[in-house]
Amino acid sequence: MSSRSNVLLYLVLAGVAGLAVIQFDRPRLDRPPVTAELQAPPEVKRVLENSCYSCHSNQTKLPWFDQIAPAYWLVVHDVHEARQHLNFSEIGKLPPAQQKAALWEAVNMVQLGAMPLPRYLAVHPDARVSPRDLAVLRNYLHPEGDSARRAQGRGEDRGG
C-alpha cells in the first residue's frame, strides 16, 4: 500500500474508534409514567402523537438512528427542553380551558413552521404535520367558527 492510503486507512479507523468511544457517553433519557394525559378526541391525539410526542411527552420513542451519538445527545437535549415547555403526558391535570389554550399555542407554532423543529423534520419526514392534520387540529379548536362560516356559505376562501 502507498503511504497515502495508509494515512487514509488510519483516519478511517480513528474515526470509527472515535464514534465507538463516544457511544459510552449516554445521558439518561427517562420515560416517566404518564400521569395526566391530554384530554382530546382520538383524531386530534393521533396528529400530536405522530408529530409531537417524541419530544413533548413522556412516551418518547427513538428510532435506531437517534440512539447513536452524537445525534443521541442532541435528541436527549431537545426532549428534556421540550418536556419542560409542553408535556402532553402531564397537561391533563390542567383545567380543560387551559389545555385548549396550550393546544392553541401549539397549533400556532405548527402554522408558523416552528414546530416540529425543522432540524428534526429533516431527519424524520414522517413527523410533518400535513395540511389535513392541521385542519383536524384547527377544527377541534374552532368547531363553531367553521360551522358558522359554512352556514354563511363562505367557507374555503378564508384560510390562514
Chain positions contacting ligand HEC, by CB under 6 A: 51-52, 54-56, 78, 81-82, 85-86, 105-106, 109-110, 115-117, 120, 127, 129
> Which helix H or strand E contains 117, and what residues bound it?
none
* Shortest reach from residue 18's CB to ligand HEC, in Å: 25
Q: Please say which residue, 36 or 50, places its beta carbon nearer to ligand HEC.
A: 50
Query: Smallest gap, in angstroms, from Cβ of residue 107 to ligand HEC?
Result: 7
Q: How far is the CB of 140 from ligand HEC (least distance, A)?
A: 13
d(CA 80, CA 56): 9
DSSP 116: S
Q: For the chain, what percentages of helix, strand and coil (3-state, to nearest 5) are there?
A: 60, 0, 40
**Minimum gap (Å) between residue 146 Cβ and ligand HEC:** 20
Q: Which lies closer to ligand HEC via its Cβ, residue 18 or residue 160? A: 160
* Cβ neighbours of residue 21 closer than 8 Å, sequence gap 6 or more: none
- Quick one: 15 or 113, whose CB is closer to ligand HEC? 113
Least separation in angstroms between CB 103 and ligand HEC:
8
Complex with ligand HEC: residue 118 or 160, whichever CB lies closer: 118
Taking the C-alpha atoms of residue 32 and residue 84, their distance in angstroms, rounded to an integer, is 13
Residue closer to ligand HEC, measured from CB, 11 or 101:
101
Query: What is the distance between the alpha carbons of residues 151 and 16, in angstroms, rounded to a whole number?
Result: 64
Handedness of CA 151, 155, 158, 160 (dihedral sign): positive
